[in-house]
Amino acid sequence: MHPLLKKDRENLQELLSQTQKVAGEYFRQQDTLAPGRFVANIAMETLPEKGIGAMATLDHFAKNFAGQIANSAGPRYFGFVTGGSTPASVAGDWLVSAYDQNACGSNDSIAPQLERQTIHFFKQLFGLDEVYFGSFVTGATISNFTNLALARQWVGLQQGKDFSHDGLTGAEPVTVLSGTPHASIFKSLSMLGVGRKSVIRIATLPEREAVDIAALEKQLIQQAGPVIVVANAGTVNTVDFDDLVAVAKLKKKYNFWLHVDAAFGGFAACSEKYAHLLEGINAADSITIDAHKWLNVPYDAAMQFTRHKGLQLSVFQNSAAYLGDPEQSPDFFHYTPENSRRFRALPSWFSLMAYGKEGYREIVERNCAAAHHFGELLKASEDFVLLAPVRMNVVCFTLKQDDLSAETIRKFLEAVRDDGRVFFTPTQLHGTWAIRAAVSNWLTELADMDLAFEVLEKVSEKLKKAQPA
């Protein structure tokens, strides 16, 4: 063994406690560190011929780079839809690295059984029927990809084709109907060979991102063959929900695969105030829900659920060995895009065990209350305008001025970032350049929204003054 490896192994306990100190230092400062920061390009160092050992490497990292990491796990990072990590999930995540399981097989470890247990917990949390099969993947994008791969296979089978075996060559184009699909739907369709242009955008209700059910039905009548409907349960701009009960009714009349993208909207199930938004979800053939967003576990983790476990096996099987017996419970690597897989269920298992349904109800309701409060502050202000009602945890707003462009918003948000107390990301809603505040972190309190609003007003004043009259 190389002497540096030998030495590091001998000093492993000290290395771990030193690492814990660096992490502990970060956790202690989470309330005050800048959520986002400008980082200049760094010089690319030459790979050392002789290593410096783990302790010196940790020191090098802590001194030179740790201070420039985004505090995106802190309470005032409102960009995208970003969760932090609960204490229990960090403990679980550290152990995942320590044990370094390959959670693909099932004949050597409890890991796959704990993954099944975690999926079972989630079905209870989200109110999903027990019949759903589920697995962990890296994020909602790959969950959408996995689920749409099943949908594609189903469409083929309706036409007597096996796409998984024969490919798409010569097949009728696959069609996807959706009101306000997330960007990852298009990316998934590109990766699946179905194509981005296979999406037919269905009209949404006036001033809404939710699909117009009558328009959806009209399109379904016009379709010659079986299609895929992507319903949205929580859009990223305004957390709008398609009427899943109405979509479920259409499913009784027309032949389609129903996929529900509930990446963070699935957490509506945690609270009696919002659970009604998910009514009808059990009609779905497949469902996407993220864990690294509102569950507040470390990246990267999401779940995919389906009622068609056998179909999933036929698409993702690693070899033909299981072909004859889909009801058996073979290893996860016959169901998921990955072959080798991190034991990424464990941080979720830790967090669900540690905080239970009640803990997640509290986070969801506190985050939504914070978003509503922020919406009220913006509504009453001179400088900003709210672009949609605050339905749950996202506030979509913009500057009160006439000549809004992508550039105006970008400059404004850079000034907000450089103030160092809050971070937002831009968006476009119905053609208007805008700003989103997504509140999905377990640490966020009402006072954080007051502070965020204070920063917005200050930056707005400053930029107004800087402008030539």
Ligand X SMILES: *Cc1c(COP(=O)(O)O)cnc(C)c1O
Residue type, 469: A
First vs last C-alpha separation in the chain: 71
Question: Which residues, 229 to 288, sit near ligand X by CB under 6 A?
Answer: 234, 236, 261, 263-264
Q: How far is residue 267's CA from residue 363's CA, in Å, rounded to a whole number?
A: 10
Structure tokens at 108: 């050597």
Residue closer to ligand X by CB (options 234, 337) is 234
Residue type, 381: S
**Candidate residues 140, 213, 227, 303; the one interacting with ligand X per rule CB under 6 A:** 140
Interface with ligand X, residue 302, by CB under 6 A: yes
Beta carbons of 107 and 73 less than 8 angstroms apart: no
Instruction: Find the shortest distance in angstroms from Cβ 301 to ligand X.
Output: 9
Instruction: Find the shortest distance in angstroms from Cβ 234 to ligand X.
Output: 6
**Candidate residues 139, 280, 337, 375; the one interacting with ligand X per rule CB under 6 A:** 139
Instruction: Find the shortest distance in angstroms from Cβ 19 to ligand X.
Output: 27
Interface with ligand X, residue 81, by CB under 6 A: yes
Angle made by CA atoms 71, 440, 185, in degrees to the nearest 5: 100
Q: Count the site residues for ligand X by CB under 6 A.
A: 14
Residue closer to ligand X by CB (options 135, 460) is 135
Residue closer to ligand X by CB (options 313, 388) is 388
Instruction: Find the shortest distance in angstroms from Cβ 402 to ligand X.
Output: 31
Residue closer to ligand X by CB (options 226, 234) is 234
Instruction: Find the shortest distance in angstroms from Cβ 288 to ligand X.
Output: 7
Residue 245 CB neighbours (<10 A): 14
How much of the chain is helix, strand and coil, in % rounded to 5? 45, 15, 40
Site string for ligand X, 154-193 (x = CB under 6 A): ----------------------------x-x---------
Interface with ligand X, residue 228, by CB under 6 A: no
Beta carbons of 275 and 268 less than 8 angstroms apart: yes
DSSP letter at 75? Answer: T
Give the chain's radius of gyration (CA, Å).
24
The DSSP result for 395-426, as a single string, is EEEEES-SS--HHHHHHHHHHHHHHTS-B-EE
CA 110 to chain centre: 27
**Binding piece for ligand X, criterion CB under 6 A, among 92-100, 135-143, 158-166, 209-217:** 135-143
**Candidate residues 82, 85, 141, 237; the one interacting with ligand X per rule CB under 6 A:** 141
Footprint on this chain of ligand X (rule: CB under 6 A)? 81, 139-141, 144, 182, 184, 234, 236, 261, 263-264, 290, 302
